[in-house]
Structure 1
Amino acid sequence: MTRAVAPLGQADKSGQERFTEFLRIYASLNTRLAYATDLGIPLNWVPGYRAPDPTRRRGRARRAQSTGLEWLPWCLHNGFTSFADVRVEHVERWLAELAAAGYSDATRARMLSAVSAFYRKYLLREGLAQHNPVALVDRAAQHLNRPDGTPATTVLWSFEACRALLLAAYLLANRHGYGLRDRAMVEVLIGTGVRGDELVGVNLDDYQRPTPGGHGSLRVHGKGAKDRRVALAPPVADAVEAYLAVRRPSTVPARTGQVGARVREPLFVTRSGARVHVSHVQAVLRRLCATFAPAADAPPPRARWRRELLATEQAALIATHLAPLRDSIHPHSARHSYASHTKNRGAEVRQVQRDLGHASLTTTEGYLHDAAHLAQSAAHDLSPALHRGWLTAP
């Protein structure tokens, strides 16, 4: 959608100005882009967004082309001139159209939350709507609610799989130009449970290690403009130090109004010196899996060092644990894995909550895939007793 519209029913400001004001509520550019994507706001309206250079090769695009079913284009297409005119039945019709178009329940729930935030944090505050129609949606009937305590559906990496990813990153660290950087990112991701966008959002001066060889820390910029410090155990800090020894200076441009001010340098940078994008984190994880656990139809490696590496016992062990993750691996699994493995090793849930930056303990509990509880379940005592004497194990 390229035309500037004023769907809010106010003559003093354009639609673009209104949406820009809403997005400025969020300090993180990644958060602004996420809301713009779900609401259908043109990216050139997002404060702080710079369009990619079309002359340079880039990875995956920021988002797929709009389907026209995002909230803003859907409202315009259906003739709404003011968001104050939207009722709950209109929201439910929109959700039905999303479902018919193949949108998953999780995606619809996320998009609905974006619309709700737009009403709660902007339209109601500015007097541009009298109520939030999303609040009246029956989420259970729309299959959008997950009851409290329901285990998360994100794939949990086993303790051995986490070890395999770290070992794989270590073995490849000196095999290509940015191996040390990628290893440091994997170490921080698995060793702290930070989100992917938090990982790439850290700056050079966010890293601290007062004592050589000791613990380090990293200030991460979380959701809702809430910063927190996460601890870096010595092995993780060592990986960061190894990367910093070869890190190239960044080429962060000064923003308007920052002339003469100190520009904060990103910690993890690309070949060109720009901040690493969150999509690169998933690409690194996929490359580790594909290297040590290639698909059956993948051509054999041409490099001699790679063939020799894959012939080792270490590589065979890595492949065993990474093969099941190859087609579904995602950075957010590291966050769930951190929560589960630290709790299973004796950490207090409240400490895990602080580590992950969750405002609610209920959110943290949803991250806990507690295999220990399953292994200790009373069902293991009941079932054998029920079958004793007439059903024997094969």
Structure 2
Amino acid sequence: MTLALVPPSEGGKDARERLAEFLRIYASVNTRLAYATDLGIPLDWVPGYVAPDPGRRRGRRRAQPTGLAWLPWCLRNEFRSFAEVRVEHVERWLDELTRAGYGDSTRGRMLSAVSAFYRKYLIREGLAEHNPAALVDRKTQHLNRATGTPSTTARWSFEACRSLLLAAHLLADRSRDGRRDQAMVEILIGTGIRAEELVGTNLTDYRRLGPGDIGILRVHGKGAKDREVALTAPVADAVEAYFERRRPPAVPAVRGQVGLAPAEPLFVTSTGHRVHVSHVTALLRRLCATFAPDLTTEPPRARWLRDLLATSHAAFIATHLAPLRDSIHPHSARHSYATHAIERGVPPRQVQRDLGHAALSTTEGYLHDEDNIRNSGAHELSVALHRGWLTSSMS
């Protein structure tokens, strides 16, 4: 699909090989997929990507191609090479995205992907002389976001975080994978790691200093940067309770295979494969739907579940998870971790390290600090400004 735009190299590499070469700049397969989606590169061209079994996949599916990603758009507009593209063409593309209903944050991310494609690959390979995406006036396009501006991602209340942990705990022994799911929820909320990092951990990444002590989990973050996060005793206990039931099937040796065996995933499916990231979203939605079901759904048939939903614990969970039922997303766990930790006196620099952010300003953008609003000087100033003439609202 991109033969006209990405000509074969002198060494014989075709368009698919060239685009794969660009994507290999990024160590994480999830990062490669994100760039491929924004640029319009077919997912089966992404190095290391294995499509999940469509019969077993759960949770949110990837959006279907719209034809407005960068590469399809360039082909539709009959550009013969990337060297022909000028800044006015990029701005016209952004305008088309706006008319199609794309939000500013999505457009900004897609523009950044195009800029990286030019900066890190096309110019280096001599396929373009300049980066037109870098010349776009982001302010005029409403793509600028001030440093430290709070993110629009929803944050869970402290009670909602407790409700998710309690819900996973109450269901841990009620299904085959209940303990695995509880351990995943404990780590997600207790450390603030990304869903991709959670499912990307391996069995050898976990260790515990001793019985009843904290656990340590090595996380493989963005940009091939590893970090270690602390698992408090309850979180580590949940992981080890999962280990008691974790029975991945034996994988036979492959004829002719040499070298080290591939790393064994920490969290596995019933068939021994790595849990897919979509399962994390599906898990959170299932917890909400179980304890705060839609009023149109039928009552549960299982007697044990009807009895459970009649308890005070279930009532607490339902109160705080009902508002999240239709919109819950695992990335909110990171925002919740950052906000609640800083509200409880954890230094921002430590939260930055916990989350694996390169810059403190990124962490600051995660904060939803209602205390700053409640403690604002505006409250004191308003009393003085309105004293004597607006007494009804001051009482």
TM range (shorter): over 0.9
1:61: how far off?
7.2
Map of 1:5 onto structure 2: 3
Structure 1 residue 27 corresponds to structure 2 residue 32: no
In structure 2, do the counterparts of structure 1 residues 52 and 293 end up closer, same or farther at CA, with 3 Å as the change threshold? Answer: closer
Instruction: Name the amino acid aligned to 1:66.
Output: P
Instruction: Name the amino acid aligned to 1:162.
Output: C
Map of 1:96 onto structure 2: 95
- Which structure has more relative contact order (CA 8 Å, sep 6+)? It is 2
**1:307-343 CA deviation, whole Å, 9 max, x = no partner?**
1111101111111111111121111110001111111
Alpha carbon RMSD of aligned pairs, Å? 2.0
In structure 2, do the counterparts of structure 1 residues 143 and 211 end up closer, same or farther at CA, with 3 Å as the change threshold? Answer: same
Equivalent position SS for 2:317: helix
Equivalent position SS for 2:217: strand
1:271: how far off?
1.8
- Check whether the contact 1:185–1:199 (CA below 8 A) recurs between aligned residues: yes
**Cα separation, 1, equivalents of 2:48 and 2:301:** 43
Structure 1 residue 364 corresponds to structure 2 residue 363: yes
**Cα separation, 1, equivalents of 2:63 and 2:364:** 33
**Cα separation, 2, equivalents of 1:67 and 1:290:** 31
In structure 2, do the counterparts of structure 1 residues 252 and 87 end up closer, same or farther at CA, with 3 Å as the change threshold? Answer: farther
**1:29-56 CA deviation, whole Å, 9 max, x = no partner?**
11111111111111121111223446x4
Map of 2:385 onto structure 1: 386
In structure 2, do the counterparts of structure 1 residues 283 and 51 end up closer, same or farther at CA, with 3 Å as the change threshold? Answer: closer
**Cα separation, 2, equivalents of 1:181 and 1:102:** 39
Map of 1:328 onto structure 2: 327
**1:165-189 CA deviation, whole Å, 9 max, x = no partner?**
1111101111111111111111000
- Check whether the contact 1:250–1:265 (CA below 8 A) recurs between aligned residues: no
Equivalent position SS for 2:50: coil
In structure 2, do the counterparts of structure 1 residues 65 and 17 end up closer, same or farther at CA, with 3 Å as the change threshold? Answer: same
Instruction: Name the amino acid aligned to 1:176.
Output: S
Map of 2:43 onto structure 1: 43
Instruction: Name the amino acid aligned to 1:323.
Output: A
**Cα separation, 1, equivalents of 2:253 and 2:14:** 28
Structure 1: tracts of 5 or more residues without a match:
none
Question: Which deviates further from its counterpart, 4-13 or 179-188?
Answer: 4-13
- Check whether the contact 1:251–1:274 (CA below 8 A) recurs between aligned residues: no
**Percent of pairs with identical residues:** 71
- Check whether the contact 1:195–1:335 (CA below 8 A) recurs between aligned residues: yes
In structure 2, do the counterparts of structure 1 residues 376 and 34 end up closer, same or farther at CA, with 3 Å as the change threshold? Answer: same
Instruction: Name the amino acid aligned to 2:147.
Output: D
**Cα separation, 2, equivalents of 1:58 and 1:255:** 26
**Cα separation, 2, equivalents of 1:296 and 1:228:** 43
- Check whether the contact 2:218–2:228 (CA below 8 A) recurs between aligned residues: yes
Question: Which deviates further from its counterpart, 94-103 or 215-224?
Answer: 94-103
Number of paired residues? 391
Structure 1 residue 174 corresponds to structure 2 residue 173: yes
Scaled by the length of structure 1, the TM-score of the pair is 0.94
Instruction: Name the amino acid aligned to 2:93.
Output: W
Question: Which deviates further from its counterpart, 173-182 or 135-144?
Answer: 135-144
Equivalent position SS for 1:392: helix
In structure 2, do the counterparts of structure 1 residues 256 and 345 end up closer, same or farther at CA, with 3 Å as the change threshold? Answer: farther
Instruction: Name the amino acid aligned to 1:273.
Output: G
Structure 2: tracts of 5 or more residues without a match:
none
1:257: how far off?
9.5
Equivalent position SS for 1:31: helix
Equivalent position SS for 2:219: strand
**Cα separation, 2, equivalents of 1:257 and 1:267:** 26
In structure 2, do the counterparts of structure 1 residues 201 and 159 end up closer, same or farther at CA, with 3 Å as the change threshold? Answer: same
**Cα separation, 1, equivalents of 2:180 and 2:253:** 24
In structure 2, do the counterparts of structure 1 residues 333 and 52 end up closer, same or farther at CA, with 3 Å as the change threshold? Answer: closer
**Cα separation, 1, equivalents of 2:322 and 2:235:** 24
**Cα separation, 1, equivalents of 2:305 and 2:83:** 61
Instruction: Name the amino acid aligned to 1:134.
Output: A
